[in-house]
Amino acid sequence: MSLKPSPDAQQTFAPATRLVHAGRDPGEQHGFVNTPIYRGSTVLYPTYDAIKNRRGRYNYGTSATPTMDALTTAWTELAGAAGTVVTPSGLAALTVALMAAVSAGDHLLVTDSAYRPTRQFCDGVLARYGVEVTYYDPIIGAGIADLMRPNTRAVLVEAPGSQSFEMQDVPAIAEVAHARDACVIMDNTWATPLLFPPHERGVDIAVEAGTKYLSGGSDLLIGLTSANARYYPAVRRTFDHFAMCAGAEDIFLALRGLRTMNLRLREHGRAGLEMARWFQARPEVLRVLHPGLPEDPGHAIWTRDFAGASGLFGVILKPVPEVALAAMLDGLQLFGMGFSWGGFESLVIPFDCAGYRTATKWAPGGPALRFHIGLEDTADLKADLDAGFARLRAAT
Ligand SMILES: *Cc1c(COP(=O)(O)O)cnc(C)c1O
């Protein structure tokens, strides 16, 4: 009944099946369906010989617990990786990936569309430790070859881009990077391995902010760093050096989210695309940033490489006074205004990439909003936004 991690399990079962069964073994826990929460620092050894020679699967709470193993085993299967570490946040997972891949004297290429705190870590920490960082145009594709230097050790990709939603040709970038023996790191939070299997597409180290769709409830912070056989040892060493371990309750909640992630993501994706099309037809809207739309510049890549969309996209409005925008957003009943996303509830934030981009110019032509479409009925969401647009027009 239980799906033991075996080499052929990955070939035999579809991702939806793996999500349900991976990383748990009722036979090992008195028949209970789920792996319990193991809390603990100390692990006791039965004998002098056992502690002297570190015999036993578990040694100390920071390095591994059965609860941690349940999630990392499941994620490794899902992502098609050689191994995974679980960290206390998505940003922490990114820092583990970067610290595992680059050293003093190395050159790192980072997409200009990267999650902003990723940039801040590169500029604020990696630069201090002697890593040189160059930002590149996200749509560069195989043109990344022109930016590679003899000491380029890693290329960071993120698709679609944070806030701006550019698609990236990850396989093309990976081919160039691998020809120069550089590591490809991807922030795969938007798609999850369900919609973009990172390691199959040439990614060496993949990062997921589990805070988003793995949680699905806006109630926890967690990150995952998965890697292929070449890079997993370095990722694991870096995780151990920092003792970058997540809390037991958060891991348990993430496991609970994992079992239903496929179903939730499908609905977020369906409703998101429906809402994106609805925005496209609005007279107040200039452009919708969603790779699932045929008009989107990244649509061909998305169709080729992705199995679907999640529920996050951007909307550029025609120019309006700021008071009109405030009137629209302040009166919304169903869209909360706040950072993060991936939960069951709809969200909106205003954004502006102009202040921090360095390789590309951000000039969208009007105010930019990022929407996350939750699990509400889309007719209710449209009615709420319709009233919002009426307030916007009245205040213009
Ligand atoms: C939210 C987010 C992160 C960081 O996750 P936290 O758990 O909030 O640290 C990383 N990358 C992307 C694309 C995100 O949206």
Atom of ligand 1 nearest to the CA of 190: 13
Find out whether 317 and 325 touch, Cβ atoms under 8 Å.
yes
Q: Is the pLDDT of residue 279 over 60?
A: yes
Count, in order, helices (H) and strands (E) of the chain: 13, 11
Query: What ranges in 223-298 are assigned the alpha helix state H?
Result: 232-242, 248-280
For 187-222, how does the pLDDT look when each residue is reduced to its tens digit (9 = 90+)?
999 999 999 999 999 999 999 999 999 999 999 999
| Mean pLDDT calculated for residue range 303-311 | 98
Mean pLDDT, rounded, for 150-177: 98
What mean pLDDT comes out for the span 32-54? 96
Which band of pLDDT confidence, cut at 50, 70 and 90, is reported for residue 1?
Answer: very low
Ligand 1 geometric centre to CA of 314 (Å)? 17
Segment holding 313, helix H or strand E: strand 312-317
Q: pLDDT category, 9, cuts 50, 70, 90? A: very low
| Ligand 1 centre distance from Cα of residue 224 (Å) | 11
Pocket test for ligand 1, best of 211, 268, 370 (most atoms within 8 A of CB): 211
* Ligand 1 residue neighbourhood (C-beta within 6 Å): 89-91, 115, 162, 187, 189, 209, 211-212, 221, 223, 340
pLDDT on residue 93: 98
Distance in angstroms (rounded) separating the CA atoms of residues 39 and 248: 6
* Contact assessment for residue 316 and residue 365, using Cβ atoms and an 8 Å cutoff: yes
Nearest CA to ligand 1 atom 1: 340
List every span in the chain annotated with CATH 3.40.640.10: 15-258
Instruction: Label residue 3 by pLDDT band (50, 70, 90).
Output: very low
CATH of 263-395, one of 2.40.50.140, 3.40.50.2300, 3.90.1150.10, 1.10.510.10: 3.90.1150.10
Scanning 31-87, the segments in alpha helix (DSSP H) are 48-52, 66-79
Eight-state DSSP code of residue 336: B
Q: What does the CA dihedral 247, 252, 253, 254 come to, rounded to 10 degrees?
A: 90
For position 33, what pLDDT does the model report?
95
- Residues for the chain: how many in total? 396
Asked whether the bond before 364 is cis by omega within 30 degrees of 0, the reply is no
pLDDT tier for residue 81 given thresholds of 50, 70 and 90: very high
pLDDT of residue 12: 78
pLDDT score at 11: 57
**pTM for this model (two decimals):** 0.96
Percentage above 70 pLDDT, the chain: 97
- 233-271 pLDDT, tens digit each: 999 999 999 999 999 999 999 999 999 999 999 999 999
**Residues paired with 109 in a beta bridge:** 134, 155
SS3 labels along 134-169: EEECHHHHHHHHHHCCCCEEEEEEECCCCCCCCCCC
Which residue has a Cα nearest atom 4 of ligand 1?
A: 90
What would the two tokens of residue 307 be? 């199995």
Average pLDDT of span 87-93: 98
Ligand 1 centroid distance, CA of 180 (Å): 29
Instruction: Please say whether the beta carbons of 10 and 80 come within 8 A.
Output: yes
- Fold of the domain spanning 15-258: Aspartate Aminotransferase; domain 2 (3.40.640)
> How far apart are the C-alpha atoms of 91 and 97, rounded to whole Å?
10
Mean of pLDDT values over 351-367: 96
| Token pair belonging to 5 | 């991690």
Average of per-residue pLDDT across 264-293: 98
Q: Return the residue whose CA atom lies nearest to atom 5 of ligand 1.
A: 90
107 DSSP assignment:
E
Q: Which helix (H) or strand (E) holds 384?
A: helix 378-394
Residue 209 alpha carbon to ligand 1 centre in Å: 5
Mean pLDDT lowest among 14-23, 130-139, 195-204, 380-389: 14-23
Give how far the C-alpha of residue 110 lies from the chain's centroid of Cα atoms, to the nearest Å.
Answer: 16
372 alpha carbon – ligand 1 mean position (Å): 14
What is the rounded CA–CA span in Å between residue 83 and residue 122?
Answer: 24
Cα-based angle 31, 255, 13 (whole degrees, multiple of 5): 75
Distance (Å) from CA 90 to ligand 1 centroid: 5
- Centre of ligand 1 from the C-alpha of residue 33, in Å: 30
How does the average pLDDT of the chain come out, rounded? 96
Is 10's pLDDT higher than 80? no
Question: What is the reported pLDDT for 59?
Answer: 95
Buried b / exposed e across 217-251, counting CB within 10 Å, b at 16+?
ebebbbbbbbbbeebbebbbebbeeeebbbebebb
Domain with CATH 3.90.1150.10 in the chain: 263-395
